[in-house]
Amino acid sequence: MYEKYYKQFVDNFNLLSQRYDKYRIFLDFLKLASYSMYNVFRKSEEIESKYLNIVKTYRKDELEIFCKMFGELTLMYEYKNEIVDILGEFYMQNKIGNNSLGQFFTPFHIAEFMGKINCGTKEQMEKIIDKNGYITLSEPCCGAGAMILGFVKALKDEDINYQQNLLVYAVDISEICAYMTYVQLSLYGIPAIVFCGDSITQKMNFQLETPFYFMNYWKFRKVNNKTEDISSNEKIITKFNEVTVKGNCQFSLW
């Protein structure tokens, strides 16, 4: 079934690509999907306006294709029945990437390997949860979110409930990458705040919280019996100082 829906997704994407640039189609698809999920919880007039500005540039039949693609993508995650990087692989296979940025995403089997290394044992993860209330993961150059998904898969393999015990901070300078990460983390039910911006200068263009961030009331989660506002831009971004070593971005867990 996964292969069936993947083929339908590709066919619909190619149909739109006959009329528009591939990059534009994929970015608009990701934006529409992201805004639809985000605004169920945030009810932002600004986001609604952005959504409508995209919608009005397409015909009705083209918008119906976008809707079909989102349905097919959702079914792909359901029938794959495991955590994988669907959007990142699609992005690379269809050569949508930005050559000027030198984009090349980490193959998912490497991301899985790195996830296992960073995750450690169930006992180690439970110690972090007991001490801090939850696990916090930062990815300052997230791409499509493969490294995050690799870590989440490792947590799942260790029988750690990532939907309840993990909070992700993800950043990428490319807006299409930020939206890919947002869509994937949202559909996997991962609590996260996704930023588009520069993790070195810490200048951010926008942020979006995933549905499970809202559903699990992460804004009001307690650490050491104290309630913290963990949605603060300034407070979150300063944490990325911890993940630069000799000028190189590092995968960070604390």
Q: What is the pLDDT of residue 230?
A: 53
Task: Specify whether the backbone of 95 is left (phi greater than 0), alpha (psi in -120 to 50) or beta.
Answer: left
Q: What is the pLDDT of residue 233?
A: 46
Which band of pLDDT confidence, cut at 50, 70 and 90, is reported for residue 236?
Answer: very low
Q: Which residue has the tokens 């940025």?
A: 101
Which band of pLDDT confidence, cut at 50, 70 and 90, is reported for residue 226?
Answer: low
Once rounded to an integer, what is the mean pLDDT over residues 105-129? Answer: 89
Once rounded to an integer, what is the mean pLDDT over residues 240-247? Answer: 36
Average pLDDT, the chain: 86
Cα distance between residue 77 and residue 71, in whole Å: 10
User: Out of 42-51, 103-112, 170-179, which region has the weakest mean confidence (pLDDT)?
Assistant: 103-112
Buried b / exposed e across 208-230, counting CB within 10 Å, b at 16+? bbbbbbeebebeeeeeeeeeeeb
The residue that leads in pLDDT, 62 or 132, is 62
* Confidence check: pLDDT of 82 > 80: yes
**C-alpha closest to that of 10 among 109, 107, 91, 99:** 91
Cα distance between residue 44 and residue 49, in whole Å: 9
* Confidence check: pLDDT of 156 > 90: yes
Once rounded to an integer, what is the mean pLDDT over residues 143-170? Answer: 95
Q: What is the pLDDT of residue 6?
A: 95
